Amino acid sequence: MDASEEAEARAKVRHLIQQAPTARPPEFVNPLEKIEQLLTCPICLDRYKQPKLLPCQHTFCYPCLESCADSLHRTLKCPECRAEHSIPYDGVKAFQTNYTLTGFLEIHLQATPDSAAEIEEYIHRNVLVAYDVKKSLSHSATTLFRGFLSVVRLTPSTHAGEQQLRG
């Protein structure tokens, strides 16, 4: 192997090492906080009360939508995307109920603090295990490439020794 091939091999290894993940663990995002955000009305910032789905697919509490409705013109402007919707004949209560969100709210209310803590611990533990495996694989790849460079360095001298023996 000549000097240019060795330099190219070193550059490839350097690039692979730079692409390896850093040694610090990833930021842990609490999934329970994410769920809490999804169950929170963006108007009142409280858990949804009678979640209603607008035609634009945004969801808000029934009482919040009542306060946003223009009863005179029978229109409602979505607080999220500003799309204008006609209020049904029976009023804001006639907008479709978001049954999926209602189901999640019921499940969330049934979850005890103990089970929530167990779920959080389980998820956190599995995130750390996955990080350790990824870090270990990265270290193994680095070691493998360092070993490859050592073999590449030994090969020319070994080849020269064989030629001397045949000589």
pLDDT, residue 18, reads 67
Predicted pLDDT at 156: 52
- In the three-class reduction of DSSP (H, G, I as helix; E, B as strand; rest coil), residue 100 is classed as helix
Which segments in the chain show pLDDT lower than 70?
1, 13, 15-29, 112-117, 119-120, 122-167
| DSSP states of 110-155 | H--HHHHHHHHHHHHHHHHHHHHHHHHHHHHHHHHHHHHHHHHHHH
